[in-house]
Structure 1
Amino acid sequence: MSSSSPQVLADYLILSLPQSARAKEWLEQSLNSGKQPLYKLDVPDFQSGTLDSLVQESEDLSKIDQQLGSAVSKVIEILASVSESKNNSRIVQSRSIFDFVQNFHWNTSKYRLDKPINHLVKVISSEAITLDNDVRSSYQNYQAAKSNFLAADRKRNGDLSIKSLHEIVKPEQFVLDSENLVTVLIAVPNNLVSEFKNKYETLTQFVIPRSAEVIAKDSEFTLFTVTLFKKFQQEFINSAREQKWHPRTDFSYSEETLNDLRKEFDVTKATESKQKNELVRLGKTAYSDIVACWFHIKVIRVYVEAVLRYGLPPQFDNYLIKFEGSNFKSVGKAKKELIEKFGYLGGDGYTSVNSNLHEYASLVDSEYEPFVLYDFEVV
């Protein structure tokens, strides 16, 4: 994970071994000196199909596993970016994620076990990917709404060169409904005000003498109105920019426009707030459902890999080994102890390919281990 990734709250090793009471006893009492909580993982019997089909499923499951893990991390990252809460609780189907994982039961009502594995994988992964796309789309909508609100906020609270002028100007300060005359607004840096007063009348022809009037002032700028003939408006604006003054060409006096501007801040703020609330609601729902999908995919992956490693009929025990807090550093140590204890399961196939199952298994994982072992990080 990158440094910007969500914090890992717990790490589970998912382990599948051929059925053995001694294995369970050793895991409880000897692994990492018996310090690691151990849970049985309920893995149902699936419609396994052929070994060739399982090899293909194993390759697909590896990609989907990584994809859904990334989706979960992205949802958490998005929620953290919009939520002021420091609460790290993770809720999956109305339970804590730890309860969900440690007491996992296959959702037979959604994912029927009489369906082949490739069908289940397609249904589960499609559900999760759709949710991931929905969250990303909602996040983009929120970012757009936030950007609009920040722009409106700058207009309301920025300096006189950029802020909205609807609360500043008055109709009597403008020449309105004239065929020939127009009033323009110029924000002049305070250190250039004297120069402006000396020059503005001569920037173009037909600037009304002594028409410059101070409308407002802040720490950076003084806002003036200047009245001139419409024919020379653009020339005056271009010349003003050359003087490093700031013509407010974005503003023209209109009651309708002013009413719209008065509403802009409130509308964009309300929209930003609505999009944020929708994103948080969707994100929490998506987290719950994507994690549930992800763990169902993990369970299928464990089953497929166990069949490829240990053969049919499926007679293997599945465990969750939990690491958290100060025991995070023990994951690597535990893996080494597991290999020392159960390395014999690889048999000749651990170093050479001489059986069908081991041949398939060697195709499945580049980091081939003598038993089924996967990580599941809670972030």
Structure 2
Amino acid sequence: MDPVCKYLVLSLPQSTDSKEWLERSLLDGKCQAIDFKVPDFQIGTLDSLVQESEELAKFDTQLGTSVAKIVDILAGVLESQASIRTVNSKSVLSYIEAFSWNTSKYRLDKSIKELVQLISSEALTLDNDVRTSYQTYQNAKSNFLAADRKKNGDLSIKSLHDIVKPEDFVIGSENLTTILVAVPKNLDDDFKKSYETLTQFVIPRSAKLITFDSEYKLYSVSLFKKYEQEFINGAREKKWQPRTDFTYDEEVLNNMRKEFDLTRANEQKSKNDLIRLAKTAYSDIISAWFHIKAIRCYVESVLRYGLPPQFDLSFIKFTPNNFGSIDKAKKELVAKFGYLGGDAISNKSSLHEYASLVDPDYEPFVVYQVEIV
């Protein structure tokens, strides 16, 4: 699905001027800057922060992918999309823009490593549960579609439990059997002329028309069991459709009568289970994702700007009508705050022939782009 909103999550050293500039000057004040309120964490050593930085990047990407997958799943099974994007009974954008750390669930006396493990493990377990539930639903849907084809398809594939009767078959004979054949209507004359000689010991004049639809006529033919497979092979060569999938058995017929209703009920139940789980998972994984993102921004800001932690985090919001302005906004941010990366970033012209050695993807401040689908 297309994004409903995009954000630049931006961290800058604390400065009254920078906050005012974001609100009034970035893109001529045409984009919204929103405070991203993040608590202070138990930092530990800088070495541990470098290790956590790699883990946080991995989990950030995984949870973003998980959210997108859940949205795709819900979009495929829900008629209305209006109720997909809710987190803790709020719209997802309201939740993000008023983000508040859940201190009761993720206590701040825990280390960053402990918090990351707790948040990510819960979210990824939910993600696995959704994937398993989705596969269960896909299997149930496939079974129901197969049963539906049997119920409503043409006579070459249709379930015959409501069509045939005991008198259409030779039942209880040691030597004789009955084969059902769906004959295309344009081959009906050929069938009548040749079925008796298709193999040895076909009972003369045993072909009985049971029913027909727009494409096929369904016949029963009786013959000696010894020549059953030979008759089937010959029928296929003539483009008739032997219904070898059908054997007259009352118990089997009773099960077939129940199959459609059972598969339909199972498909509906697994669909409802999936919707309930996926909606819960969307809410919980979005929440986990932004708690991970909060820690990631904090860790990267400490690594970039040093101790003590003194930086401001902001969401810069872009709606679909100004998605095209994101690159321009990044360039304006680099022009304004490039000095944070030193002369190599703020004044590339001074590097002359060495300018090409500066990583073009390097940002002189902490910034991430987030898409909400």
Return the TM-score normalized by structure 1: 0.92
Alignment of 1:2-81 (within 5 A): 6-81=1-76
Separation in 2, partners of 1:28, 1:240? 79
> Matches of 2:345 and 2:360 in 1, distance apart?
12
Q: Are residues 1:378 and 2:349 paired?
A: no
CA distance in 2, matches of 1:152, 1:347: 68
Residue aligning to 2:163? 168
Q: Which amino acid is the alignment partner of residue 365 of structure 2? A: F
- The percent of aligned pairs where both chains have the same amino acid is 65
Q: For structure 2, which runs of at least 5 residues remain unmatched after alignment?
A: 348-358
Partner of 1:261: 256
Structure 1 residue 325: Cα displacement: 3.1
Contact 1:38/1:321, CA 8 A, preserved across alignment: yes
Code of the residue aligned with 2:67 in structure 1: it is V
Q: 1:134 aligns with which of 105, 126, 129?
A: 129
Spell out, residue by residue over 1:196-254, the C-alpha distance to the aligned partner (whole angstroms, 9 max, x if none). 11111122222111111100111211111111122222222222222221111111111
Task: Output the TM-score relative to the length of structure 2.
Answer: 0.93
CA distance in 2 between counterparts of 1:120 and 1:28 reads 32
Give matches, 1:259-338, under 5 Å. Answer: 259-338=254-333
Shift of residue 102, structure 1, vs aligned partner: 1.0
Describe the superposition over 1:241-269 as per-residue Cα deviations: whole angstroms up to 9, x where unpaired: 22221111111111111111111111111
Q: 2:222 aligns with which of 205, 227, 234?
A: 227
Q: Is the 8 A contact 2:130 2:274 kept in 1?
A: yes
Question: What are the ranges of 5 or more consecutive residues in structure 1 without an aligned counterpart?
Answer: 1-5, 353-364
| Dislocated runs of 4+, deviation >4 Å | 348-352
Q: Using the alignment, how far apart are the partners of 1:14 and 1:246 within structure 2?
A: 64
Corresponding position of 2:355: none
Q: In structure 2, what residue type is equivalent to 1:184?
A: I
Letter in 1 for 2:364: P
Supply the distance in 2 between the matched residues of 1:350 and 1:32 (Cα, whole angstroms).
21
User: Which digits, 9 at most, give the CA deviation of each residue in 1:121-159, with x for residues without a partner?
Assistant: 111111111111111111111111111111111111111
Mapped contact 2:123–2:285 kept (Cα < 8 A): yes
Q: In the comparison of the two structures, how many residue pairs are matched?
A: 362
- The 3-state SS of whatever aligns with 1:151 is helix
Compared with structure 1, are the counterparts of its residues 232 and 186 closer, same or farther at alpha carbon in structure 2 (3 Å cutoff)? same
Q: Report the RMSD for the aligned CA atoms in angstroms.
A: 1.7
Counterpart selection for 2:246 from 243, 246, 251: 251
SS at 1:228 equivalent: strand
The answer to whether the aligner puts 1:98 opposite 2:122 as a matched pair is no
Task: Show the counterpart of 1:367.
Answer: 361
**Which residues in structure 2 correspond to 1:103-118 (within 5 Å)?**
103-118=98-113
Q: Which residue of 2 aligns with 1:357?
A: none
Shift of 1:118: 1.3
Equivalent residue number for residue 351 of structure 2 = none
CA distance in structure 2 between the partners assigned to 1:40 and 1:106 by the alignment: 13
The one-letter code matched in structure 1 to 2:302 is: V
Corresponding residue number in structure 1 for 2:116? 121
Matched residue SS, 2:255: helix
C-alpha deviation, 1:193, in angstroms: 1.3
**Who is 1:159 aligned against?**
154
Q: Distance in 2 between matches of 1:209 and 1:374?
A: 81
Q: Equivalents in 2 of 1:28, 1:234: separation in Å?
A: 82
